[in-house]
């Protein structure tokens, strides 16, 4: 992990403003990033402070219309990645955007004001208040509705990982610029980055789909060659039928010719066998693990 001379960590910002226009792709990328860290980082137990912290803005994009398997994987990674020394913060306007199974795994909470004008808003407000440890000094749902600018209802983990009671807290204003960067400022920040040049060149590597498609095409060609070779071989049944027909002078029925497999059947059978052989190789197995590993298990 990169740190400066004083041991302080560095802040890296992924500009996902265009990527967020494709929510499924955005969710898949973030899940891949977490999964890679989870699988490669060593176990560190329960450190006093994390080595790496992620802040996922617009977190509702991770879960809107997401497949159940994807949500289950995010929940698993969010729960277990703490043992790798990694913290995860989900940033969204409404806690109802985050599934309850994942919301229950979050230790630190910072809730700014929620307005409740409709019946649904009131249900969401009550639901958000229920996720806090009660404070006898005030009603949490009223506090969430009434906090002003620069104020929030917070709950932080105490000793032994116990959630603290809800508190009304003043938030220190950020020292950084508020609002989006213009193109000139962004270019200057990138130029001063210690990783300048590393990500300047766009790479268009072969995707798993492209590799599988290439293997399928190769298997189809091999199947076609196998089918042609089968058709080119002399048909033993045909020779037997011709001999029987020539010497059928005693009134016996000539043996009937067995129907030959159609060309489409031969090609389909040969294709299936060839494609199965291709996926049985090491590279074929690696592709399948890469495609399905993030959703259904480790690679």
Tens place of pLDDT for every residue, the chain, 299 residues? 677 788 788 888 888 878 778 877 877 788 888 888 888 888 887 777 788 888 888 888 777 777 777 778 778 877 788 888 888 888 888 888 888 777 777 888 899 988 888 888 888 888 888 888 899 999 999 999 999 888 999 999 887 778 889 999 999 888 888 888 888 988 888 888 887 877 777 777 777 778 888 888 988 898 888 888 877 765 555 555 555 555 545 554 545 555 554 444 455 555 555 555 554 555 555 544 554 454 445 44
Q: Within a domain: residue 275?
A: yes
* Rounded CA separation 37/81 (Å): 8
- Give the per-residue pLDDT at 151: 93
Question: Which residue range is the domain that position 278 belongs to?
Answer: 208-296
Q: Within a domain: residue 288?
A: yes
Q: Within a domain: residue 285?
A: yes
Q: How many domains does the chain have?
A: 1
- Give the per-residue pLDDT at 104: 75
Q: Within a domain: residue 249?
A: yes
* Rounded CA separation 275/212 (Å): 10
Q: Within a domain: residue 2?
A: no
- Give the per-residue pLDDT at 299: 45
* Rounded CA separation 284/288 (Å): 6
- Burial letters 85-103, b for 16+ CB under 10 A, else e: bbbbebebeebbbbbeebb
pTM score, whole prediction: 0.62
Q: Within a domain: residue 197?
A: no
- Give the per-residue pLDDT at 152: 93
Q: Within a domain: residue 269?
A: yes
Distances 296 to 134, 235, 291, 293 between C-alpha atoms, Å = 37, 48, 10, 5
DSSP H stretches of helix in 55-176: 60-63, 68-80, 100-103, 119-130, 140-146
* CA atoms within a 13 Å half-sphere pointing along the CA-CB vector of 75: 17
Q: Within a domain: residue 219?
A: yes
| Residue with token string 């910072």 | 110
């Amino acid at each position: 992990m990169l740190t400066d001379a004083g041991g302080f960590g560095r802040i890296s910002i992924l500009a996902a403003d265009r990527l967020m226009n494709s929510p499924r792709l955005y969710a898949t990328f973030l899940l891949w990033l977490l999964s890679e860290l989870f699988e490669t980082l060593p176990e560190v137990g329960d450190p006093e402070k994390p080595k790496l912290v992620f802040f996922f803005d617009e977190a509702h994009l991770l879960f809107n219309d997401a497949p159940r398997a994807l949500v289950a994987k995010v929940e698993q990674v969010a729960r277990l990645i703490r043992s790798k020394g990694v913290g995860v913060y989900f940033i969204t306007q409404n806690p109802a955007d985050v599934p309850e199974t994942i919301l229950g795994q979050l230790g630190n909470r910072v809730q700014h004001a929620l307005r409740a004008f409709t019946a649904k808003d009131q249900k969401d407000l009550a639901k958000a208040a229920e996720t806090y440890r009660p404070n006898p000094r005030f009603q949490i749902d009223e506090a969430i509705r009434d906090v002003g600018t620069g104020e929030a209802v917070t709950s932080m983990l105490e000793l032994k990982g116990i959630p603290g009671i809800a508190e009304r807290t003043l938030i220190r204003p950020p020292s950084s610029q508020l609002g989006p960067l213009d193109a000139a400022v962004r270019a200057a920040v990138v130029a001063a980055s210690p990783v300048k040049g590393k990500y300047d060149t766009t790479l268009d590597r072969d995707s798993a789909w492209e590799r599988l498609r290439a293997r399928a095409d190769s298997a189809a060609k091999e199947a076609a060659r196998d089918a042609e070779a089968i058709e080119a071989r002399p048909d033993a049944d045909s020779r037997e039928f011709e001999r029987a027909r020539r010497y059928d002078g005693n009134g016996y029925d000539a043996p009937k010719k067995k129907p030959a497999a159609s060309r489409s059947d031969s090609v389909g059978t040969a294709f299936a066998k060839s494609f199965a052989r291709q996926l049985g190789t090491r590279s074929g197995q690696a592709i399948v693990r890469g495609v399905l590993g993030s959703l259904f298990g480790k690679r």
